[in-house]
Every structure is written in structure tokens, then in C-alpha cells.
Amino acid sequence: MTVRRLVLLFLALAFLAGCGLATGPSNEIPDQQERDRKAEGSIFGEDGLTFGGDKGSDSGGAGLGVNGFLWRASLDTISFFPLSQADPFGGVIITDWYTPPETPNTRFKLNVFILGRQLRADGLRVSVFKQEHIQGSPVWSDVPVSNETVRSLENAILAKARELRVAAISQPE
């Protein structure tokens, strides 16, 4: 019986000694994972998802994905058109059909695409769609739009964007 007690006591001590040797998970793995996570980045940027912006930052948040002057000038220039969709991050403005009061049988629709962050003429593309109503018919038929109409609208937006930029530069901070 004493041999049995000695064996049980020895096994109990062996188990207790084994418990003391185990150190658990290594602390190096979470540190390495954290470094890897920081190196890969986040879809929300360095600071994560921040509501209200960073108080110490001069950038004022993420901002627009396109040139702000072209964006504002586009909205100002076509402000009389009803907006269907406006995406400041993708630079897309789509209007609904607009019928001028002086020509009730003609309607227009615009798609404005701002293609970059620089204020350049090739950073803007406008598509104009025109339809005419055939008297006595419920159908609107497509009518070709002259390139001059598209070009004059693009030039009006670019001129307004330049005015906004000059006004922003000449303003004291």
C-alpha cells in the first residue's frame, strides 16, 4: 500500500511540475501579428474609422475623391437641372430630364464625369442627351446633340472652376 501511495504521490508531483513548466502562448506571436496588421494597413486608413474628423489634422478628413473646384463648379453650372445622382467620391453627376419652359417639346439630360484630382480640361467629361416629343404621340425620340453644345457646357464648368480656385487662393487664411 505504501508503494501505491508513493507512486500516486510521484505522479501528482510530476503533473504539478509539468504545469509549472508550461509558459502558455508566446508573446511574440501577437506582437508579430500586430506588426503585420499595421504593415498591411486598413481599408479605413491609419486611424481607423473616425467620425467627425481628426481635430489635429489640417486635411479636414478624407475629402473628395475628385477635384473640389470642378465638383462645385459642375453643381453650380447645372444647378437648374434636377439631380438624379451625385457621387463626390466617384466624381459622377447624373441629372434627370429637364424641359426648358420656352421649349416644352424638348428635354435634356446630363452626365458629368470628373476624372481626376487636378483642375485640368481633360479631367472633365460631359455627356448631353436630348429628346424631342412628337406632337400627338406619347413617345420621346432621341435627337443628336452637337459637339459645340457639349464643348460650351464643359467650358462653362471649367471657367467657373477657375473662378472658384482664384477666389480660394486670394482669400487670406
Instruction: Please report the domains of the chain, with CATH numbers, ordered by start residue.
Output: 68-170 (3.30.530)
Please indicate whether residue 1 or residue 149 has the higher confidence score (pLDDT). Answer: 149
**What average pLDDT score do residues 100-123 get?**
94
| pTM value surpassing 0.85 | no
CA dihedral 11, 13, 19, 20 (to 10 degrees): -150
Whether the predicted pLDDT of 83 surpasses 50: yes
Q: Going edge to edge, which strands form the sheet with 124-133? A: 83-87, 92-95, 106-114, 124-133, 140-143
Paired residues of 107 in beta bridges: 131
Q: Is the pLDDT of residue 158 over 70?
A: yes
pLDDT for 148 equals 97
Higher per-residue pLDDT: 139 or 41: 139
- For the residues 140-155, what does the mean pLDDT come to? 96
- pLDDT on residue 44: 56
Q: How far apart are CA 7 and CA 81, in angstroms?
A: 93
Question: How far does CA 76 lie from the centroid of its chain?
Answer: 21
Do the beta carbons of residue 42 and residue 48 sit within 8 Å? yes
| Average pLDDT of the segment spanning 48-59 | 46
